[in-house]
Amino acid sequence: MQQIKNVKKAANTGFTLIEILVVIGMIALLAAIVIVAINPARQFAQGRNTQRTSNVNTILNAIGQNIADNKGVFTCGSVDLAASVKYICAGDNCKDKNGDDVDAADAIDLACVTPTYVPALPFDPNGADYYWTLKTDYNTGYTVQLVEGSRVQICAPGASIETALDLDGDDTVDDPAICVTR
């Protein structure tokens, strides 16, 4: 008789439905915490912004090397680094992301710094699909202007960061521009 009771007790060992649901809930909670901590969208945005910072520095270094090689004067054909903001293009037929022509007054062709100072003008990482299709004439997605008289400033206006704040109070997230001045 005692042996039959021991067999019934052994058959009743296991997990109850409540115990299984508690464990599943704890696993789901831990998974949610890990996903929030990793935040893939933020990681990709940081990667794109790192690439933009590198590209801006590359363009600025190419311009600086041209100026240094020419005793303080930027010589790049008829290119005039004006005080107004200009879109940096490669080639005469500069297009925007929609394939439309960029107004010549708003564009500057810096293809003259290639290949002497940089192998090719870098372009914004968000426009990679478009820029790969038009290899000779494209808008880099970056801007150049003279500030404080003679300092050159290169900006990546399309910088995106998903954790950006509303800086001007208009209830929209402001995309900060990445700018470097020398």
Q: pLDDT tens digit string along 28-64?
A: 999 999 888 888 877 888 888 888 899 899 989 988 8
Share of the chain above pLDDT 70, in %: 69
Could you identify the residue written with the tokens 């929030």? 36
**Mean pLDDT score of the chain, rounded to an integer?**
76
| Nearby residues of 110 by Cβ (< 8 Å), 6 or more positions away | 59, 62, 63, 76, 79, 88, 89, 90, 121, 144
**Contact of 143 with 154, CB cutoff 8 Å:** yes
Residues in the chain, total: 182
Amino acid at 81: L
Choice between 99 and 72, residue whose per-residue pLDDT is larger:
72
Determine whether 1 is exposed, middle or buried from the number of CB atoms within 10 Å of its CB (0-12, 13-18, 19+). exposed
pLDDT at 6 over 80: no
Ranges of each domain in the chain: 2-31, 41-181
Rounded to two decimals, what is the model's pTM? Answer: 0.68
The whole-number average pLDDT for the span 88-94 is 69
* Amino acid making up residue 60: L
Structure tokens at 22: 């508690």
| Dist. CA 144–CA 59, nearest whole Å | 9
Query: Which residues have a Cβ under 8 Å from the Cβ of 142 and sit 6 or more positions away?
Result: 55, 56, 59, 87, 88, 122, 123, 124, 154, 155, 156, 157
Rounded to whole angstroms, how far apart are CA atoms 66 and 58? 12
